[in-house]
């Protein structure tokens, strides 16, 4: 393998600088007679230093004179005295590497013989081995899987050329300065051949172990070379993935060789989630499938493995779990957050239409008997429905490569095609066209492509108003969808207008005795909290009255409305009005769901805030602690909701002068939030609160790095002109002023000034 500089992290950069400082201009300590001999023998290259000394050869860093670029030269050990097998293996490696053209496999540029030594010249990868890279800083499971997926693709490229690496391990995977992996050292690779008489690889004798033991597959450990195929690499990749995720081996690989071989052959891998709890069921399934002792139960190639990793990262059902009906159902439930599963949305739309088709067909049967005019109409509808079904099925089958055509088609592309066609295909059938546009608009929205969703929804509303009327349920539903989109886009006024239209339509459609309009009204009130609090108050009152009138007093929706309205009143300092609302809803949730349910805990948190506002500090403390305990139990200690509640509690503690306890709480929050990998947007807030608390306690030296981190995270996560970022900037400027570090405060002061100006101009706009 190679090794060299890789300024990928602070530590790596510093290490490289240290190496440059210590070894520049100095003879390499590892310089030996071979190096000196080769230094003269390589025409066109200048040897710089030895990079690595392995079992098969030595790798040097060299400069290629013609291109002035750095290259790595692998020189075979033994030179003129090398055995025939070693020579053949070396030549095989050169051939293999030359045949593989992949950005994540090291490329060979030249080969030959110098001073009796075989060598080849390859790309120099300035980076570090995968294990050092993983150890250099903590990374999220998804980030590791993304990297791993790229490694699998590289190995798959070799598999596609009939090459089995046979020695995949972290030290044979280099990570470059951009974080891209490069698979190196094909010295033990085997070439598969259709010709049964020879596999094209150097001969291996039955019983001879080839590879690196800790990453070896059971078939390697058993010394059965005839069973080595792509699945052998899959197994090694499984061990590598296990290490990447847990920094451990799946089983004991130290000790005497017999025990290690026994473990490889028989020991069940420890479940990765028991080592790192962020590893979920799906990731664990992928890892364990790679590590199946039986080859037939593993992924059949690195390509299959790469695909499943990709499926997981894009939210699609992984192949390894496809057998489970429950699993597929779970994925269906979360479909709106999962791009690929939008295909499922379309399937459901298709199914609904098929049901519709069935109904129409049944009408048709009746009509056939009666031979009325209705029969002809029904036939037309059935034809339309059939056309819709076919249209949807065509779309759906191309959405999911695993179920359909096996192509890697992006859902957005499918939707793009569909939206282009739908107008033409259903030019005369406007109602159908509207339904489809509504579905496409929602699908785009679910994929986060709001700019494409909006015109579809608008066109759908237009068509539905034209064909069905303004007060039709379908028209109202589409308006609701568009309102949600606009709300998310910050266009609150238009969103509120559409909500209001939808509610008015529902009042017409369902009358005032139905709870449906009032449920929507509650949503409208929550939106109006942001735009027009006075109007929100009125809307909440209407919604609550309507729900209380149309539902039983202990209905869930009545209490949800009370909970929302209560918090709103609390935030407006209308404590007396807020109190009964929040108490009623808490009593209801406690009775209905139990004390440890998340909804009950959130409701209790609101009560805690109320009590704090009323100055009942002891009761507030108790309520906060109960709420946090409930959330920890229901959602976990590091769930964002739990952390947000603890943050609010810390602020309360700080306000009642329990600053040390508040500080301790914030320290825990920041630690948990960092470990959880929460976004900069959220983590920055907690860091800012922690830094501010340290500053208030005059622990300025400790506050400094925390506030520095907070500002960096908030600028990155929220932008400079965000309200919270501005507060963090104020804090750090105040800190440096207090430390008489005016020079250090100045850049932040300038940012603060810019942010202030932007805000002013923003307000003006």
Partner 1 sequence: MNNDQDQLDEQLLERARTGDREAISTLLAKHGVVVRQRIEHDISSRWRSVLSVDDVLQQTYAEAFVSIGQLKATTAVSFIAWLTSLAKRNLIDAVRMLDAQKRGGDRQKIEPNSQASYAALLDLVSATLATPSRVVAGKEATDALSKAIAKLPEAYRVVIQQYDLEGQSIEDVAEKLGKSLGATYMLRGRAHRMLAGVMGAQSNFFSQAP
In whole angstroms, the minimum distance from the beta carbon of 13 to partner 1 comes to 8
In this structure, the strands spanning 108-114 and 127-129 are: unpaired
Q: Which is nearer to partner 1, 664 or 702 (CB)?
A: 702
Q: By CB under 8 A, is residue 136 in contact with partner 1?
A: yes
Query: DSSP 3-state assignment of 278?
Result: coil
Q: By CB under 8 A, is residue 131 in contact with partner 1?
A: yes
Q: By CB under 8 A, is residue 744 in contact with partner 1?
A: yes
The DSSP bridge partners found for residue 680 are: none
Q: Which is nearer to partner 1, 29 or 723 (CB)?
A: 29
Q: By CB under 8 A, is residue 52 in contact with partner 1?
A: yes
User: Applying CB under 8 A, which part among 128-136, 145-153, 282-290, 670-678 lies near partner 1?
Assistant: 128-136
One residue of 21, 408, 513, 534 binding partner 1 per CB under 8 A: 21
Residue 152, CB-side half-sphere exposure with 13 Å CA sphere:
30
In whole angstroms, the minimum distance from the beta carbon of 55 to partner 1 comes to 14
User: Applying CB under 8 A, which part among 220-228, 248-256, 414-422, 448-456 lies near partner 1?
Assistant: 248-256
Reduce the secondary structure of 208-261 to three states and give it as a string.
Answer: CCCCCHHHCCHHHHCCCHHHCCHHHHHHHHHHHHHHHHHCCCCCCCCCCHHHHH
Q: Is the dihedral of CA 457, 462, 468, 469 positive or negative?
A: positive
One residue of 57, 127, 129, 441 binding partner 1 per CB under 8 A: 129
In whole angstroms, the minimum distance from the beta carbon of 127 to partner 1 comes to 11
Nearest residue to 434 via CA among 487, 486, 479, 485: 479
Residue 152 · residue 237 · CB < 8 Å: yes
Q: By CB under 8 A, is residue 248 in contact with partner 1?
A: yes
Q: Which is nearer to partner 1, 26 or 329 (CB)?
A: 26
User: Applying CB under 8 A, which part among 12-20, 158-166, 336-344, 653-661 lies near partner 1?
Assistant: 12-20
Contact map string, positions 423 to 462, toward partner 1, x by CB under 8 A: ----------------------------------------
User: Applying CB under 8 A, which part among 242-250, 403-411, 512-520, 679-687 lies near partner 1?
Assistant: 242-250
Contact map string, positions 684 to 723, toward partner 1, x by CB under 8 A: ----------------xxx-xx------------------
One residue of 66, 196, 743, 764 binding partner 1 per CB under 8 A: 743
Pair of tokens at residue 667? 């320290």
Q: Please, is 61 exposed, middle or buried when counting C-beta atoms within 10 Å of its C-beta (0-12, 13-18, 19+)?
A: buried
One residue of 31, 98, 135, 366 binding partner 1 per CB under 8 A: 135
Q: By CB under 8 A, is residue 259 in contact with partner 1?
A: no
In whole angstroms, the minimum distance from the beta carbon of 729 to partner 1 comes to 19
User: Applying CB under 8 A, which part among 83-91, 188-196, 247-255, 289-297 lies near partner 1?
Assistant: 247-255
Q: Is the dihedral of CA 556, 559, 565, 570 positive or negative?
A: negative
Query: DSSP 3-state assignment of 405?
Result: coil
One residue of 175, 252, 272, 458 binding partner 1 per CB under 8 A: 252
One residue of 32, 36, 113, 137 binding partner 1 per CB under 8 A: 137
Give dist(CA 166, CA 96) in Å, integer.
Answer: 13
In whole angstroms, the minimum distance from the beta carbon of 708 to partner 1 comes to 11
Longest dimension (CA), the chain: 103
Q: Which is nearer to partner 1, 480 or 687 (CB)?
A: 687
Give dist(CA 677, CA 674) in Å, integer.
Answer: 5
The DSSP bridge partners found for residue 122 are: 72, 108
Pair of tokens at residue 682? 């959220």
Give dist(CA 172, CA 183) in Å, integer.
Answer: 6
Matching residue, tokens 């947000």:
644
Q: Which is nearer to partner 1, 129 or 149 (CB)?
A: 129
Q: By CB under 8 A, is residue 9 in contact with partner 1?
A: yes
Reduce the secondary structure of 738-760 to three states and give it as a string.
Answer: HCCCHHHHHHHHHHHHHHHHHHH
Using only C-alpha atoms, what is the Rg of the chain?
33
Residue 655's CB is within 10 A of a number of other CB atoms, namely: 12
Q: Give the footprint of partner 1 on this chain (CB under 8 A).
A: 3, 9-12, 14-15, 17-19, 21-26, 29-30, 52, 128-129, 131-132, 135-137, 247-249, 252-254, 700-702, 704-705, 739, 741, 743-744
């Amino acid at each position: 393998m190679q090794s060299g500089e890789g300024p990928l992290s602070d530590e790596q950069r510093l290490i490289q600088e240290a190496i440059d400082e210590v070894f520049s201009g100095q003879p390499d300590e590892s310089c030996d007679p071979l190096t000196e001999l080769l230094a003269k023998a390589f025409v066109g290259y200048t040897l710089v230093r030895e990079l690595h000394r392995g079992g098969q050869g030595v790798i040097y860093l060299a400069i290629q004179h013609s291109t002035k670029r750095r290259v790595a030269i692998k020189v075979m050990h033994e030179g003129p005295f090398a055995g025939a097998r070693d020579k053949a293996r070396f030549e095989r490696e050169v051939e293999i590497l030359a045949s593989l053209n992949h950005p994540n496999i090291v490329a060979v540029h030249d080969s030959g013989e110098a001073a009796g030594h075989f060598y080849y010249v390859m790309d120099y990868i300035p980076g570090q081995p995968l294990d050092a890279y993983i150890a250099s800083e903590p990374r999220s499971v998804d980030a590791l899987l993304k990297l791993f997926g790229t490694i699998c693709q590289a190995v798959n490229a070799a598999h596609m050329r009939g090459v089995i690496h046979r020695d995949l391990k972290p030290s044979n995977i280099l990570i470059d300065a951009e974080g891209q992996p490069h698979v190196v050292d094909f010295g033990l690779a085997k070439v598969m051949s259709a010709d049964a008489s020879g596999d094209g690889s150097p001969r291996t004798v039955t019983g001879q172990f080839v590879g690196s033991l800790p990453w070896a597959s059971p078939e390697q450990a058993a010394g059965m070379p005839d069973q080595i195929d792509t699945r052998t690499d899959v197994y090694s990749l499984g061990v590598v993935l296990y290490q990447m995720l847990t920094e451990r081996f799946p089983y004991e690989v130290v000790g005497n060789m017999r025990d290690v071989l026994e473990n490889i052959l028989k020991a069940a891998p420890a479940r990765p989630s028991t080592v790192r709890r962020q590893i979920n069921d799906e990731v664990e399934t992928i890892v364990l499938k790679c590590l199946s002792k039986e080859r037939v139960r593993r992924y059949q190639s690195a390509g299959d493995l790469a695909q499943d990793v990709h499926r997981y990262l894009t939210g699609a059902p992984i192949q390894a779990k496809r057998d489970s009906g429950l699993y597929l159902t779970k994925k269906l439930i979360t479909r709106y957050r999962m791009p690929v599963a939008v295909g499922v949305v379309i399937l459901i739309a298709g199914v609904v239409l098929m049901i519709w088709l069935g109904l129409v067909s049944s009408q048709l049967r009746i009509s056939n008997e009666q031979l009325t005019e209705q029969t002809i109409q029904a036939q037309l509808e059935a034809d339309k429905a059939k056309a819709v079904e076919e249209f949807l099925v065509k779309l759906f089958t191309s959405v999911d490569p695993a179920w359909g055509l096996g192509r890697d088609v992006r859902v957005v592309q499918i939707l793009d095609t569909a939206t282009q066609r739908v107008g033409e295909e259903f030019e005369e059938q406007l109602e159908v066209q509207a339904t489809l546009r509504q579905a496409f608009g929602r699908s785009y929205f679910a994929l986060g492509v709001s700019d494409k969703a909006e015109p579809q929804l608008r066109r759908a509303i237009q068509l539905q108003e034209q064909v069905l009327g303004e007060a039709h349920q379908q028209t109202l539903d589409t308006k609701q969808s568009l309102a949600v989109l606009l709300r998310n886009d910050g266009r609150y006024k238009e969103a509120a207008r559409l909500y209001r239209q939808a509610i008015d339509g529902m009042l017409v459609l369902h009358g005032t005795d139905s709870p449906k309009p009032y449920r929507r009204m509650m949503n409208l009130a929550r939106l109006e909290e942001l735009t027009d609090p006075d109007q929100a108050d009125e809307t909440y009152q209407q919604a609550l009255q309507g729900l209380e009138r149309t539902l039983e007093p202990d209905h869930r929706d009545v209490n949800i409305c009370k909970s929302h309205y209560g918090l709103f009143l609390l935030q407006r300092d209308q404590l007396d009005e807020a109190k009964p609302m929040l108490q009623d809803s808490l009593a209801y949730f406690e009775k209905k769901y139990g004390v440890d349910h998340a909804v009950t805990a959130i409701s209790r948190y609101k009560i805690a805030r109320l009590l704090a506002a009323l100055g009942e500090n002891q009761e507030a403390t108790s309520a906060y602690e109960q709420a946090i305990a409930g959330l920890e139990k229901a959602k976990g200690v590091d769930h964002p909701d739990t952390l947000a509640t603890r943050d609010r509690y810390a602020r309360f503690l700080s306000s009642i002068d329990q600053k040390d306890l508040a500080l301790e709480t914030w320290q825990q929050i920041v630690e948990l939030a960092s470990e959880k990998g929460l976004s900069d947007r959220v983590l920055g807030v907690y860091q800012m609160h922690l830094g501010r608390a340290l500053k208030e306690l005059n622990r300025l030296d400790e506050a400094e790095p925390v506030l520095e981190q907070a500002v960096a995270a908030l600028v990155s996560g929220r932008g400079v002109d965000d309200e919270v970022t501005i507060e963090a900037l104020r804090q750090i400027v105040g800190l440096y002023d207090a430390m008489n570090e005016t020079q250090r405060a100045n850049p932040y002061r300038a940012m603060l000034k810019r942010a202030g100006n932007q805000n002013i101009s923003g307000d003006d706009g």
